Amino acid sequence: MLIIPAIDIKDGKCVRLTRGDFSKKKIYLDNPLDMAIIWRKQNAKMLHVVDLDAALTGEMVNFEKIREIVLNLDIPVQVGGGIRSVEAVKRYLDIGVGRVVIGSAAVTNPKLVEELLKIYRPSKIVVGIDAEHGVPKINGWTESSDLMDFDLGLRMKEMGIERVIYTDITRDGMMQGFGYDSTKRFAEKTGLKITASGGVTNSGDLKRLDELKSCGVDSVIIGKALYENNFPCQQLWYNYEEGICLDHNFSTAKTK
């Protein structure tokens, strides 16, 4: 199970939200690069970075902060948050981002996904599905889709998407355990490669996630639990080989 620390950026700072509520943010560091360096020193093999401002506005507000992280680290960085155009994807990949996450646009503009897959291989384009009781939420989790999560997943699969980051947002930032049943159901119904996200709190959650490997869940994004020191971080990563985890399609630290 590849463990991926999350860095959420709001107003240029490293923050964590509770259930995506922008009024319930906690600032951890003023400079997200400092946080990225900490996770790398803890032997992280990959980072998940989200521009929260862009998720709301569609504008790449924190692009320079993200560029700093990518240029200063020797591991892959995947980026999400408000990526709604081919130009935005190109801009990120051109600076060395390992893969981009398409969230709201997968619902509001699915043709964008089709267009991107004509230009880039599937390992570069990931779809993020953030669901509340099985219903995908979009635009910074402020609106609901008219699709069920697995329907959206299957549509993306038909287009050529191979991996989805699946978040049960009822659990996100709550420190009450991840959505085992919702993640398992989504994985079984879609047959996609899944990166789980939201609510992982302790090593017990990781053991339960390990049970879902046979369903295609091979990695997990962890946020608040790491920031709140719920894990002895070094021990989590000691057993992983230096380099890139199998099945994540990164042949070098930064691929274009």
- Enzyme catalytic residues: 8, 130
Distance, CA of 167 to CA of 149 (rounded, Å): 10
Distance, CA of 237 to CA of 256 (rounded, Å): 26
Q: What are the C-alpha distances in Å from 51 to residues 83, 183, 228, 247, 252? A: 9, 24, 21, 26, 24
Residue found by looking up tokens 């959505």 in the block? 179
Whether 218 contacts 194, CB under 8 Å: yes
Whether 212 contacts 183, CB under 8 Å: yes
At residue 121, the 3 state secondary structure works out as coil
Q: Which of 60, 49, 56 is nearest to 91 (CA)?
A: 60
